[in-house]
Copies of this chain bind each other. A is one copy, B any other.
Amino acid sequence: MKPTKAPLRDDVAKRKIYEAVLQRILNGELKPGVRLVENQLAEQYTVSRTIIREVLFTLLRDNLVERNHNRGTQVVSFTPDCVEDLYEIRKSLELLALKTAINAMPLEPLLAFEQRFRELASEAVQVAAPQHVEVDLAFHAFVFEHCQNKRLVAYLENVSQLIHSLRLLGYELEDVVRETGEQHLALVQAFIRRDLATAERLLSDHIDWSKRNALRMLILRRGIAPVP
């Protein structure tokens, strides 16, 4: 019989490394264009290259890195066109999700979100930026988690993650934060009223606005990574 044999091969290791690298991409430590060297990562996480390779394939699957034969892996970088494309897709999919979510989202969390948005609106913007980001992500995730279409959720998570990884949301800018907050508040109120038509219009506008913002940010900071 097996004693407390510590789970020597658990695949949990692989997932943890994936999460770790993902975080490093999302929080901006690994910027677009940076090369991910297999040996380096293997040493960092004290596993064999085999594991790292599989993690890289997973990141590839999630569109977070690019891979060139014999030339390694690098964090994706986007042209303005790509950003525009991504937002258009997101709009379509999120509107699709909304159609069924509007009646499936339970009331209490919606009220909680409304409350939270009100609170944030009355606080100083600069200090609360991280919380704004957090609530923003949670809110959108909340919507599409209630669309009852697993595959759609998967696609949306993928797209959201990509957009987030670009770090183009513009939460450094005060007016952006304020305006986003207002849009979210209006949205959640439409949700509470189960008013699909209004919600669709607001969501569509909201995503268009985010897109314009992202593009502005992208132009603002040229030079962090060359585009192919």
Interface residues of A (CB under 8 A from B): 11, 54, 57-58, 60-61, 69-70, 82, 85-86, 88-89, 92-93, 95-96, 149-152, 155
Overall SS of chain A's interface? helix
Known: A54-B57, A60-B61, A61-B57. A11 touches B89 (CB 8 A): no
B82 touching A11, Cβ below 8 Å: no
Known: A57-B54, A61-B61. A152 touches B11 (CB 8 A): no
Chain B residues with Cβ below 8 Å from A69 are 11
**Residue pair A150, B92 in contact (C-beta under 8 Å):** no
Query: By the criterion CB–CB under 8 Å, are A93 and B89 in contact?
Result: yes
Q: A85-B151, A155-B155 are in contact. List 8 more A-B contacts (CB 8 A).
A: A57-B57, A60-B61, A61-B61, A82-B150, A82-B151, A85-B149, A89-B155, A92-B95
| Listed A/B pairs (6) with beta-carbon separation below 8 Å | A85-B149, A88-B152, A89-B149, A92-B92, A92-B93, A92-B95
Could you tell me if B57 and A151 are in contact, using CB atoms closer than 8 angstroms? Answer: no
A96, B85: Cβ atoms under 8 Å? no
A150 in contact with B85 given A60-B61, A69-B11, A155-B155 (CB within 8 Å): yes
Kindly state the separation between the CA atoms of A214 and B18 in the bound complex, as whole angstroms.
37
The residues of B that contact A58 with a CB separation of less than 8 Å are 57
Chain B neighbourhood of A60, CB < 8 A: 61
Are A151 and B61 closer than 8 Å at their CB atoms? no
Residues of B within 8 A of A150 (CB): 82, 85
Give complex CA distance A58, B69 in Å.
Answer: 14
Is there an interface contact between A89 and B57, defined as CB atoms closer than 8 Å?
Answer: no
